[in-house]
Amino acid sequence: MIVPGSASQSLSAALATELGEPLAPVEFDRFPDGELMGRVPGFEGGRVVVVASTVSSDAHVELLQLQDAVLEQADEVVTVVPYMGYARQDQRFREGEPISARAVAKAVSTGTDRVLTVNPHETGICDFFTVPCEAVDAAGRLATPLPEDLVDPLFLSPDAGAIDLAESVRDAYGVGEVDYFEKTRLSSTEVELTPSDAAVENRDAVLVDDIIATGSTMSEAVRHLHADGVRAVHVTTVHPMLATSAQTKLARAGVEAIHGTDTIERAVSDVSAAPAIADYL
Ligand code: R5P
């Protein structure tokens, strides 16, 4: 049985179809004091797959509640965290800070037998869980919505860390060159990019990153590509967080299209990570 978190209802439905398993009739409520209640009524045992992207602090609490609701009756609890919030806080950057990814991973581990998460920023965060955890690679799925007739396509990641994702998308697309920008982060909303050596003039570019948060990284990359004479820029991301004015920044920079998976359910989530997750279940 698939138990969906409130932020992962489309992905859970796609996963239920993919696996041929029923969807639990979950109920979500909020008490007058603001506290949450996630219920899983009519549940009778077997393997339970809780699917919940932790896109907010409330979503973290809701995930713990859903795990706890099925814990005693389930034969096995598998927790799928398609997008793991706080995963980018994976080290102590300044004295006195928590390693937030470790804190939430420990809490999630208490209610499950194993964990799957999709393209975390660093796969090392899997080590923070105290139960087995695997990182699912869904990046290749991002090739699906791309036009078939891209001109001399160039697949680019906006930093060296995401080049494997650009390779995954190129491999799934079937043809194209892969390269990356050098990135220096100046603040949480400002980045400086140095373009790759690859020629971009009159070519179609596909930018690939694990997450678009404020959109600063991607919009800067799009601007560079246009300055260098690119034909069109398709932006793809596994986790389309698109916080604050990210979509406006990208539109102003001049993107042809934005494609994301349903690890975070947004208007641009036009491809499902479900088939990639199902391979691990
Ligand atoms: C960081 O290295 C990540 O891969 C993303 O590039 C980054 O988190 C995107 O953030 P933003 O959209 O705020 O620039």
Helix (H) or strand (E) holding 4: strand 2-4
- Measured from the Cα of 189, ligand 1's closest atom is 13
Annotate 190-241 with DSSP letters as a single string.
EEEEE--SS--TT-EEEEEEEE-SSSHHHHHHHHHHHHTT-SEEEEEEEE--
Find the largest Cα–Cα distance for the chain: 60
d(Cα 163, Cα 185) in Å, to the nearest integer? Answer: 17
d(Cα 84, Cα 245) in Å, to the nearest integer? Answer: 21
Tokens of 96: 């006195």
Per-residue confidence in pLDDT tens, the chain, 281 aa:
999 999 999 999 999 999 999 999 999 999 999 999 999 998 888 999 999 999 999 999 999 999 999 999 999 999 999 999 999 999 999 999 999 999 999 999 999 999 999 999 899 999 999 999 999 999 999 999 999 999 999 999 999 999 999 999 999 999 999 999 998 988 888 889 998 888 999 999 999 999 999 999 999 999 999 999 999 999 999 999 999 999 999 999 999 999 999 999 999 999 999 999 999 99
**Could you write out the three-class secondary structure of 75-138?**
CEEEEEECCCCCCCCCCCCCCCCCCHHHHHHHHHHCCCCEEEEECCCCHHHHHHCCCCEEEECC
Tokens of 110: 């208490």
Question: At CA 10, angle to CA 4 and CA 240, rounded to 5?
Answer: 105
**Secondary structure (3-state) at 29:** strand
Interacting residues of 35 by C-beta distance below 8 A, sequence separation 6+: none
pLDDT at residue 137, as a whole number = 97
d(Cα 61, Cα 30) in Å, to the nearest integer? Answer: 12
- Pocket residues: Cβ below 6 A from ligand 1: 121, 158-159, 161-162, 191, 209-217
pLDDT at residue 190, as a whole number = 87
Whether residue 249 lies in the annotated active site: no
Q: What is the pLDDT of residues 194-214, one digit of tens each?
A: 988 889 999 999 999 999 999
- Measured from the Cα of 191, ligand 1's closest atom is 14
Pocket test for ligand 1, best of 93, 165, 212 (most atoms within 8 A of CB): 212
Report helix, strand and coil shares of the chain as percent, to nearest 5.
Answer: 30, 25, 45
